[in-house]
Copies of this chain bind each other. A is one copy, B any other.
Amino acid sequence: MTPPSSPLTSPRSDRVKAVRALSRRSVREKTGRFLVEGPQSVREVVRHRPELVVDLYLTSDAVTRYGEVVDSARAAGLHVHEVSAEVLGAMSETPTPQGLAAVCRVPSASLEDVLAARPRLLVLLTHVRDPGNAGTVIRGADAAGADAVLVSDASVDVLSPKVVRSTAGSLFHLPVVTGLPVEGTIGRLREAGIRVLAADGAGTVLLPEVDLAPAHAWVMGNEAWGLEESVRDGCDEVVRVPIHGKAESLNLAMAATVCLYASAAAQRG
């Protein structure tokens, strides 16, 4: 085990407090750091985005249990620290961080970088407020092979612990661009030749009727009230997932996954 770069034996140390403070959005924004917790997310950031990892903290149990994560981290030259369960517990607001957590740099990704890579399938989240929904949509976008996820300035912070956890590592698999103004982004997508499809229960076009082969972006709105009229009006089509039974609607994450897999089927056959 690499010796810790500073003694980390007290749960009341300044360093532990600084890690815990990353549960606050203002601190994440000020420091440009966020916390990644649990085996799945930590494994994925170490594997796919090791350049983001500032410090990796593990209990001795976790060192034994997740040896392959420690090996990958060491191979990537990362700072690996063995700490007590008490210290790790004090770093996180989560009751059971399962023995490992990583302080990471906030990934930087820009809309221009995403567009330069000529994307075929994108998702734009607007006013999505529930962390679980946002994380699940990012995971679904990853699974469906989307090129990036774009997140509006009025949405939940995707670097909050709950969102990070619910992406199940997908946050580190594809570019996630945050803080975008909705209407300007829709305009920019259309200029780039990307069809912009609003997914909304108020849509007039049914999902199976839409040609999903050309490059397009799905715009997903708030869990409760959907998309604002001004946003819908800026899109090429407003598309509705058909409801065949008596359900009023699908939830956001389910609707997003159905739309994204319909896109994948059309683009990949």
Chain A contacts to B: CB under 8 angstroms: 40, 48, 136, 139-146, 168-170, 173-174, 208, 241-251, 253-254, 257-258, 261-262, 264-265, 268-269
In the complex, the chain B residue whose C-beta lies closest to that of A145 is B244
* B136 close to A251 (CB less than 8 A): yes
* A170 close to B246 (CB less than 8 A): yes
Interface centre among A139, A170, A174 (most CB of B within 10 A): A139
Residues of chain B with a CB closer than 8 A to A254's CB: 136, 139-140, 143, 253-254, 257
Residues of chain B with a CB closer than 8 A to A168's CB: 247-249, 251
Residues of chain B with a CB closer than 8 A to A143's CB: 241, 243-245, 247, 249-250, 254
User: How far, in whole Å, are A119 and B261 apart by their CA atoms in the complex?
Assistant: 25
User: How far, in whole Å, are A259 and B207 apart by their CA atoms in the complex?
Assistant: 15
In the complex, the chain B residue whose C-beta lies closest to that of A257 is B254
What are 18 A-to-B residue pairs whose CB atoms are below 8 Å?
A136-B254, A142-B245, A143-B245, A143-B249, A143-B250, A143-B254, A145-B245, A168-B247, A168-B249, A169-B248, A173-B245, A174-B245, A208-B265, A244-B268, A250-B257, A257-B258, A261-B261, A261-B262
In the complex, the chain B residue whose C-beta lies closest to that of A250 is B143
User: How far, in whole Å, are A258 and B254 apart by their CA atoms in the complex?
Assistant: 8
The smallest C-beta distance from A44 to any residue of chain B, in angstroms, reads: 8
The smallest C-beta distance from A130 to any residue of chain B, in angstroms, reads: 12
> Can you name 16 extra interface pairs (CB under 8 A) apart from A140-B250, A141-B245?
A40-B248, A136-B254, A139-B251, A142-B245, A143-B245, A143-B247, A143-B249, A146-B245, A168-B248, A168-B249, A168-B251, A169-B247, A173-B245, A173-B246, A208-B269, A257-B257
* A264 close to B244 (CB less than 8 A): yes
Question: With A253-B254, A257-B250 given, is the CB distance from A245 to B144 under 8 Å?
Answer: yes
Residues of chain B with a CB closer than 8 A to A258's CB: 257-258, 261
Contact of A139 among B250, B262, B265 (CB under 8 A): B250
Residues of chain B with a CB closer than 8 A to A48's CB: 246
